[in-house]
A and B are shown apart, each in its own frame.
Chain A
Amino acid sequence: MSAELATAPGHDAGHDDHGHVSAENNFLGLPNIKLAMWAFLGSECMFFGSLIGTYFFYHGKSLGGPLPTQVFSLTITSISTFLLLMSSMTMALAVDATRLRKLSQARAYILATAVLGATFVGFQIYEFSQFVSEGLKLQTSLFGSTFFVMTGFHGAHVTVGVIWLTMLSMLISNGKLNKDKASVTVEVAGLYWHFVDIVWIVIFTFVYLLEFIK
């Protein structure tokens, strides 16, 4: 019987190393938390797909108010986009550091990512206030409603990421995230962070840049 036990698929495939020790099996050989993040990101694709889809459904149908080209400032948004892209690099370096079990280095990269993300949110707040002063509010037009809600929810996702990264750095500081657990935990935060970054690349390309190609 023991030979059959050993050959049964899923047997002895390791254990979930994220504290969820309710069962010892790990059928796909992938940590639960990582699989959960991929499933969640699939769900998020539908979420942002609906938001961005609505923006284009209503594109050019506003009955008044400023047009996108009248309020967008490519200079400002390019700078903030560059910062967010750089934050994906620091995030990747943080994941790499946890694989090498260098937690203090990882913590520094995590904090750098959080600072870059927070700066991006700061740029977005400035951008929103500029738009409002130029006469584009949530209530002004279909463009106002779709633009502010779509980019607002993206900004909220970045904010959640910043809080998440801050928590991770606190957990590393007070020793609650040890070297064994850190690799997968930080990697999962990285998956989220890169996803939010990719969503912004889509928004920046299709919502901002395409507006100026005529």
Chain B
Amino acid sequence: MASVADFAQAQAPVYHQERPAKSGLVDWLTTVDHKKIGILYGTAGVFWLLIGGLEALLFRLQLAKPDQDLFIGTQYNGLVTMHATTMVFLAVMPMIAGFSNYFVPLMIGARDVAFPRLNAFSWYTFLFGSLVINASIVFAHFPAGGWTGYAPLSTRAYGNDGMDFWWAGLVLLAISSMVAGVNFVVTILNMRAPGMTLMRVPVLAWMMLVIQFLLAFSFPPIAVGLIFLAFDRTFGAVFYETAMGGDPHLWQHLFWLFGHPEVYVLILPSMGIVSEVLPVFARRPLFGQHAVIFSGVFIGFVGFGVWGHHMFTAGMGPIADAVFAATTAVIAIPTGVKIFNWLGTLWGGKLTFPVAMLFAISFIPMFTIGGLSGVMHANAPLDLQQHDSYFVVAHFHYVLVGGALQGLFSGIYFYFPKITGKMLSEALGKAHFWLFLIGMNMTFWPMHDLGNRGMPRRIYTYPADAGWNFDNLLATAGVFFMAAGTLIMVYNMLNSLKNGKEAGRDPWDANTLEWMTTSPPPAHNFDFTPVVFSERPLFDHKHTEDLAIPVPSEAEQIHMPSPSWKPLVVATGALLIIVGLLLFNVAPLLWLVSVAGALTVVVGIYQWVSEPV
């Protein structure tokens, strides 16, 4: 019987690199290795998760009791705006990008992404975007226009100075996401190992493929909306000036044409992680793998046709309302297909319950609660009642915290051994799981009740006799449980780096190619290119003699891309262009900074294409 240990018998490959990697800081600044970039994304994601959580904790303190004045008015609005912006764009998306970067090439048996330097460029534009948004607190105030930035509420007349940093940072993040989207579409379609047909691509990599299309096609509309906002705020254009005939619907359409596909960008990767974790710990193949894949693709397509359900109260008219209600109801079908497939995978399996499995299992009911309260909103008349109430807040937090974030936590516990070579502590992990599960239900379940009893979103206090006191206190208390759980996870990771048990190649007895190589994998990922004969190449290798992955007797010739400064140079140029536009508000002559940035981009790209890789 073959085993994972066979792969250690492969000849060490013949290595070729134009410029060998440096060590230390220079290595991390110039790296084009998808695994290092994945670690950078993931670390940034966890960092911003803590910051975004802290922001939530602060405004929940304000709401803990009626008639408080800890953070009121613009301060409160700033905290809420930054909490949402941080969690969506700076915490969950980079954590997804981290998994995507680290594991997509490993899962499809590739040595790197299609365009390694472009990948580094995406990372730097993301980093600069996150810093620009948060620089608002240093140079001005936190943006306070809501994470949806509804114009004209975000224009010069009504929005505060922080909104300049908001659009500027988001434009950089949009560039980062669009570039990464194109890069990973090409990677997954074109860089698969021999034999890995599309139907053999692991479900997580499939969901990543779907969201890369969503990123590439849904970010342009919001980029255009942000450009209009930038022109209004900076050069006095009138896109959102109602006095000049501007229509508030314009922003809403452009924003939600991005915003709803974005919801699936956040949830599909977690569905992919759960689809990888459940079969491993249930010791059964994923039930109806093709149905899971196709329903993900269907969600991706229909996700572009449902944005109007965010706008039922905006007065689009009965025809548009009816169409968007129908498409929204339809998209519940593939979601339900997935849920039944996960249950079918568990049914009759030999279940074990490490922390990764606990988070994956709890993902299913928590996400289903959020999904059910979501599909209610397909009903336009019902939505009119619930719009802008805490019921909606409860809905999307069950989907994003109970769904997306729990899925990502499951992924962290599942994949940490592969990334670092060390196991995480199961005891600390279980403490994290239970604290988090209890905390999130304490915080978000009462919000259903608050919403049904009329508490609106985006208010910074409420009167004592409104009947909302207990629910709000409970919600605030829950945040401390979630915060404690998350801090335990961070401690667990730091502690395991030093003291963790050695993981070995395949600690979970898993099914897919990433577990075939060492933990952590070498820079070139695999000593030889694997050949794939089924959708579970490693499982079949271990259990079926005929489908064993052949270990070649000869050493493979490998050419790896060289580290490069150019992605940093070009991303810095892009940053200067944006900073110049921000400085234009201070002194018009400072637009020359933008010119310097454009020149940096042009020179940087010329050097980029000239240097040997």
Name 27 A/B residue pairs within 8 A (Cβ), A-sorted. Answer: A4-B533, A5-B531, A8-B195, A10-B192, A10-B195, A10-B197, A11-B194, A16-B114, A22-B111, A23-B111, A25-B529, A26-B191, A27-B191, A32-B190, A43-B181, A47-B220, A50-B220, A50-B257, A51-B224, A61-B245, A139-B238, A142-B239, A142-B244, A145-B231, A145-B237, A145-B238, A171-B609
Interface residues of A in 1-57 (CB under 8 A from B): 1, 4-5, 8-12, 16, 19-28, 30, 32, 35-36, 39-40, 42-44, 46-47, 49-51, 54, 57
- A10-B194, A146-B239 known; A138-B231 Cβ under 8 A: yes
User: Contact: B194 with A46, CB < 8 Å?
Assistant: no
Measured CA separation A26–B190 after assembly (Å) = 5
Query: Is A129 located at the chain interface by the 8 A CB criterion?
Result: no
**Interface residue tally on B, bucketed by range:** 35 or more
Residues of A within 8 A of B531 (CB): 4-5, 8, 11
User: Contact: A43 with B217, CB < 8 Å?
Assistant: yes
User: Contact: A27 with B189, CB < 8 Å?
Assistant: yes
What is the minimal beta-carbon distance from B276 to any residue of chain A, in angstroms?
Answer: 21
- A23-B112, A54-B224 known; A35-B186 Cβ under 8 A: yes
Which residue among A4, A30, A39, A54 has the maximum number of chain B CB atoms within 10 Å of its CB?
A: A39
User: Contact: B216 with A62, CB < 8 Å?
Assistant: no
Residue among A43, A54, A63 making CB contact with B250, cutoff 8 Å: A54
Measured CA separation A5–B533 after assembly (Å) = 10
Residues of A within 8 A of B109 (CB): 25
In the complex, how many residue pairs between chain A and chain B have their CB atoms under 8 Å apart?
176
Question: Per-residue CB proximity of B180-217 to A under 8 Å, as 1/0?
Answer: 01110110011111111100000000000000000011
User: Contact: A25 with B193, CB < 8 Å?
Assistant: yes
Measured CA separation A93–B246 after assembly (Å) = 45
We find that the number of chain A residues with CB closer than 8 angstroms to chain B is 55
User: Contact: A63 with B244, CB < 8 Å?
Assistant: yes
Q: Beyond the given A4-B531, A10-B193, A43-B219, could you list 11 further A-B residue pairs with CB under 8 A, ordered by the A residue number? A: A11-B194, A11-B195, A21-B613, A22-B116, A23-B112, A27-B190, A27-B191, A62-B244, A138-B237, A145-B231, A145-B238
- A42-B217, A57-B247 known; A20-B613 Cβ under 8 A: yes
What is the minimal beta-carbon distance from B20 to any residue of chain A, in angstroms?
Answer: 15
Measured CA separation A214–B196 after assembly (Å) = 57
What is the minimal beta-carbon distance from A67 to any residue of chain B, in angstroms?
Answer: 14
Measured CA separation A139–B232 after assembly (Å) = 9
Please, which residue of chain A has its CB at the minimum distance from the CB of B560? Answer: A22
Query: Is B582 located at the chain interface by the 8 A CB criterion?
Result: no
User: Contact: A39 with B182, CB < 8 Å?
Assistant: yes
Please, which residue of chain B has its CB at the minimum distance from the CB of A176? Answer: B610
Residues of B within 8 A of A124 (CB): none
